[in-house]
Amino acid sequence: MAVQVVATAASTSESTVKDSLREIGDIGAVAELLLAESAQATLFAEELTITHVYETLDAVAKTTGKGSARDKIARLVGLLSDASPMEAKYILRTLTGQLRLGIGDMGIIDSLALAFAGEREARERIERAFNVCSDLAQVAEVLAKEGLDSMKNIQAAVGRPIRMMAAKKLSDPAEIIEKAGPEVLVEYKYDGERVQVHKDGEDVILFSRRQEQITEQYPDVVDLVRHQIQADICILEGECIAIDPKTGGTRPFQELMKRRRKTDIDRMSEEVPVAVRFFDILFHKGKDVTALPMAERRKLLESIVQSNERVSLTIGEVTDEPERLMEVFTQAVESGHEGVIAKAIHDGSGYQAGSRSWLWIKLKSSYQEGMADSVDLVVVGAIHGRGKRAGLYGAILASAYDADSDTFPTVCKIGTGFTDEMLVELKERLDHHSIGARSPKVISDIEADVWFSPAEVIEVLGDEMTVSPTHSAGRGRLEGGGLAIRFPRFTGRWREDKDPKQATTVADLIELFERQRGSGQ
């Protein structure tokens, strides 16, 4: 849509904008360039005000229904006609959410500290306020109006999401114990959606990892919380997972995602039943309990969660031995879960809202060299890079080999794992094999920017196989579509020893998928 806006505003064709975007990799910069080239009208334009820009964007956001796309475009084109090329750049970046200033929430907190306090300590107090209320605008407003001392008045409260604590990752169990020990709580890591549950009597609100309100999606969870949580006012955290009530097993994440809907919620609640595995408590009896050590929070949690088939604590145990940690990890993986999270339980193991510290460490099988399956895939296409990857490829399209039909159906795109240096090498190396159109042997629903004849083979690591609506590998031989790789990344290894027909085959992928499904439920 942004392409259309720029094309219209600069009175040029969409293909011109697309070509330019391909080279520059930034729709804002493209707008700046093209508008400068067609800049007669700006001489007579009105002066742009922030209020006008804001009101226009607000109106665009609120436009819905039939014809809304056309209407949104018209409003934005109107706005750009009053903008200088540079203003257009930032308007485009703002509306596509790609500001690319090197400034995020933490950068803003730094700025607030300097602007309103001017001392180092201020930063921590401001950040703490943000972590417990998750609202940067509110923090800034209170700070500006009432000063640094007012930050202490911003406190955790039921109904207001707390920024979630995250885990580091590590592959070596001995190192994990070293970092978080001497004793750690080793918990199963479930493949579901993280939920922060806020309970005030019968009122229950659910928040997602990014502080979105997701209460409406899980009426069954709300009910479970009302009945199984023996505390009036509290904030808990857990993982919401899709389950098979017959077997008691966990169903794939994709199934759970069918619950992310606004309609048919009651029907889907029956089709995709869920369970919640609680693992933390942040607020209890009207008090913030985040400062309590993990060990004590776990005890408190045990005392208020009344378990049944749908609600329980995460499976976990305390150990100080790397060997035992690995045993629990193996159990978790063998029963179809992602891995484990090892948590510090010592006196300093309070809940650190908004941070990713060594107090929590996750271990997944894909972190263990050799344990996860890497595959050798054929590069069949590429997608132009954006931002700092402008002029290079941002991702490549990769296929397996289907020996039966002698074709190369796609399994994934790969956009991570490349160093800057590799990206340069990648382009040089691949452009050698560039062809004008998709090779008839390449089976792909995905439209690449550049197609290659199947030649280069690379090693790719992934977490697991998923049934895919878009990728074609194995399509027709499985229920539900083809196969794709979840979380694909380049290992850095080119398989120069392999030609395309020696790449991982569709049969290999199906076998991997069946094996993984077998260990699951």
Partner DNA sequence: AATGTCTGCCCC
Partner DNA sequence: ATTCTGC
Partner DNA sequence: GCAGAATGGGCAGACATT
Give dist(CA 374, CA 395) in Å, integer. Answer: 18
The residues near 106 (Cβ < 8 Å, ≥ 6 apart) are: 127
Does 418 help bind DNA (rule: CB under 7 A)? yes
Give dist(CA 434, CA 450) in Å, integer. Answer: 7
φ, ψ of residue 340 to 5 degrees: the values are: -135, 160
Q: How far is the CB of 287 from DNA (least distance, A)?
A: 26
Angle at 146 between CA 142 and CA 150, to 5 degrees: 75
Chosen residue from 78, 107, 159, 248 binding DNA by CB under 7 A: 107
Residue type (1 letter), 198:
H
Judged by CB, which is closer to DNA: 183, or 459? 459
Does 247 help bind DNA (rule: CB under 7 A)? no
Does 104 help bind DNA (rule: CB under 7 A)? yes
Q: Candidates 28-36, 51-59, 356-364, 433-441: pick the segment binding DNA (CB under 7 A).
A: 356-364
Q: How far is the CB of 498 from DNA (least distance, A)?
A: 21
Under DSSP, the state recorded for 367 is: G
Angle at 119 between CA 116 and CA 120, to 5 degrees: 125
Give dist(CA 205, CA 382) in Å, integer. Answer: 43
Does 88 help bind DNA (rule: CB under 7 A)? no
Q: For residue 72, indicate whether it is catalytic.
A: no
Q: Candidates 16-24, 79-87, 424-432, 487-495: pick the segment binding DNA (CB under 7 A).
A: 487-495
Q: Candidates 138-146, 226-234, 278-286, 388-396: pick the segment binding DNA (CB under 7 A).
A: 388-396
CA nearest neighbour of 178 among 358, 366, 357, 367? 358
Chosen residue from 257, 291, 424, 435 binding DNA by CB under 7 A: 257
Q: Do residues 116 and 122 lie in contact, with contact meaning Cβ atoms separated by under 8 Å?
A: yes
The residues near 127 (Cβ < 8 Å, ≥ 6 apart) are: 106, 109, 354
Chosen residue from 468, 472, 504, 505 binding DNA by CB under 7 A: 468
Strand partners, 457: 378
In angstroms, the Cα distances linking 17 to 9, 22, 462 are 11, 9, 35
Does 487 help bind DNA (rule: CB under 7 A)? yes
Does 348 help bind DNA (rule: CB under 7 A)? no
Q: How far is the CB of 232 from DNA (least distance, A)?
A: 26
In angstroms, the Cα distances linking 69 to 1, 14, 72, 99, 516 are 8, 16, 5, 23, 43
Q: Tell me the DSSP string of 286-302.
A: TEE-TTS-HHHHHHHHH
Does 291 help bind DNA (rule: CB under 7 A)? no
Does 49 help bind DNA (rule: CB under 7 A)? no
Judged by CB, which is closer to DNA: 284, or 381? 381
Q: How far is the CB of 382 from DNA (least distance, A)?
A: 10
Q: Do residues 521 and 337 lie in contact, with contact meaning Cβ atoms separated by under 8 Å?
A: no
Q: Candidates 48-56, 220-228, 409-417, 427-435: pick the segment binding DNA (CB under 7 A).
A: 409-417
Q: How far is the CB of 92 from DNA (least distance, A)?
A: 12
Q: How far is the CB of 107 from DNA (least distance, A)?
A: 3
- Window 262-281: contact mask with DNA (x via CB under 7 A): xxx-----------------
Does 486 help bind DNA (rule: CB under 7 A)? yes
- Segment 492-521, which members bind DNA (CB under 7 A)? 492
| Greatest C-alpha distance within the chain | 75
Q: Do residues 171 and 342 lie in contact, with contact meaning Cβ atoms separated by under 8 Å?
A: no
Does 254 help bind DNA (rule: CB under 7 A)? yes
Instruction: Kindly report whether the peptide bond that precedes residue 182 is cis, defined as omega within 30 degrees of 0.
Output: yes
Catalytic residue, from 72, 89, 189, 199: name it. Answer: 189
Q: How far is the CB of 345 from DNA (least distance, A)?
A: 19
Chosen residue from 9, 197, 383, 450 binding DNA by CB under 7 A: 383
Q: How far is the CB of 490 from DNA (least distance, A)?
A: 8
Chosen residue from 30, 361, 467, 503 binding DNA by CB under 7 A: 467
- Segment 174-193, which members bind DNA (CB under 7 A)? 191-193
Does 153 help bind DNA (rule: CB under 7 A)? no
Q: Candidates 39-47, 112-120, 410-418, 425-433: pick the segment binding DNA (CB under 7 A).
A: 410-418
Instruction: Convert 66-99 to b/e letters by CB count within 10 Å (16 or more is b).
Output: eeeeeebbebbbebbbbbbbebbbbbbbebeeee
The count of residues interacting with DNA (CB under 7 A) is 81
Q: Do residues 212 and 226 lie in contact, with contact meaning Cβ atoms separated by under 8 Å?
A: no
Q: Candidates 6-14, 224-232, 432-440, 464-472: pick the segment binding DNA (CB under 7 A).
A: 464-472
Which of the residues are catalytic? 189
